Amino acid sequence: MSDALEKLLDEVREDLGTKEARSVDWDQVDERVFARIEAQAQEERRAEKARFAPQRRRGLAMAAVGLVAAAAIVAVVVGKTGEPGAEEVATSETAGTVVSFLGDPVLVDGKPAGTGATLRLGDVIETRGGQATVDRPGKLTLTLEPGTRTVVTHVNGALVLALERGAVEAQVVPVSSGEAFAVDVAGSRVAVHGTHLRVARASERDARVVVDLNEGVVAVGEAPRLGSVVGTLVNAPAHVEYDAADPAGSLKQTHDPAAVRPPARTEMVATAPPLAFRPEPPVTHPAAPAAEPRPESHPSSGMASKPSSPAADANAESAVAAAVRACMANRPSADNVTVVVSTTLHLDLFDDGSVRAARFDPPVAPDVNACAAQAIYRERFDHGGAAAIRVDFSN
């Protein structure tokens, strides 16, 4: 390169575009960028709602709802009916069927619904003084406790309920990937892959959410616009409390079985296979030492501070990393696709080295999360405190 060009480039590097970048009207650009992003988000929300909007609404239920429901719920229903194109979208699945109730009959969209009533997307379900059991054959059975009001917001694949107040207890058949059931509370979500849990909220104005988990794993986080929730993984047995406005920052959990509310004694319809949470067979990665079996049940005295743990493992970090990689390797993918993942697993450990909480940063796919949790919470480290495990994977 000539000296003239070298000299010129020195000047150009310093000057070309520098002044212009400074003179950009950033206030205007900022405003436009974020307005477009917000418009995009609204469009996605509209598309998502339209995807799951019902094929047709039933009769005059709207009028009844308008009379009895709280303003927030009215807003949900009115928004739904006004959705452009909603009538064209077919919804093949239902939320389930009311199979029994104790005390007062359940109200669906403000009208009494007896045994056999089918629940659909958009239904507002109220139990008043009674208690209702809903069955979604082969998928889940749920009990709505007295004083509960909830809205069915998603039915295709996963069932999602928006809990306005009260409590929902569910027994969910595990799914191999994705989420089977989720409860939204004021922008937060408790999502499950297969478990027995109860989610409670005192009232519409109360942002405190209480989750009791008897089996399996749940993810707690902000309700996503689309797809699966990315949040804190909680392993049973656990009693969790958090503020819906800040799930990540406020979440507190205890694994003391005595603190976990036992499953309701009410009839749970046995349409599902046995639901004892069984971890997948131990991963067969050569670096992963065979995991010791986890006790199937917890001490009935409920006095233990947390689930009993296997002996401390000096190689726990490599075992966990290997198990996570095995979970990634087991994900289905096309033959001609190379998957490369780099993440760090942050662990919060009890003093005896067993795992209190786990979080991937950056997050991994929900099914990897669920698969990995089974190995992570089985492991016991030879130290307490915290651990950060780098996991790199390539197929």
Contacts with another protein, residue ranges (CB under 8 A): 1-5, 7-9, 11-13, 15-18, 20-22, 24-26, 28-30, 32-34, 36-37, 40-41, 222, 224-225, 230, 340-342, 361-363
Minimum distance of another protein from residue 184's CB (angstroms): 15
Concatenate the DSSP letters of all residues of 313-356 into one string. BTTHHHHHHHHHHHHHHTS---TT---EEEEEEEEEE-TTSBEE
State which residue, 269 or 372, has the beta carbon closest to another protein.
372
Minimum distance of another protein from residue 225's CB (angstroms): 6
State which residue, 290 or 340, has the beta carbon closest to another protein.
340
State which residue, 104 or 222, has the beta carbon closest to another protein.
222
Minimum distance of another protein from residue 213's CB (angstroms): 23
Rounded distance, CA 114 to CA 227, Å? 33
Residue 383: CB atoms within 10 Å: 13
**Which positions ≥6 away from 106 have C-beta within 8 Å?**
98, 112, 113, 117, 125, 126, 127, 128, 130, 132, 144
State which residue, 119 or 229, has the beta carbon closest to another protein.
229
Minimum distance of another protein from residue 390's CB (angstroms): 12
Assigned token pair, 21 = 């970048």
CA of 323: how far to CAs of 12, 75, 330, 371, in Å? Answer: 53, 46, 11, 9
State which residue, 48 or 222, has the beta carbon closest to another protein.
222
Minimum distance of another protein from residue 38's CB (angstroms): 9
Minimum distance of another protein from residue 222's CB (angstroms): 8
State which residue, 246 or 267, has the beta carbon closest to another protein.
246
Consecutive H or E run containing 111: strand 111-113
Minimum distance of another protein from residue 204's CB (angstroms): 25
**Which positions ≥6 away from 54 have C-beta within 8 Å?**
80, 86, 89, 91, 120, 121, 122
Three-state secondary structure readout of 190-255: EEEEEEEEEEEECCCCCCEEEEEEEEEEEEEEECCCCCCCCCEEEECCEEEEEECCCHHHHCEEEC
State which residue, 30 or 382, has the beta carbon closest to another protein.
30
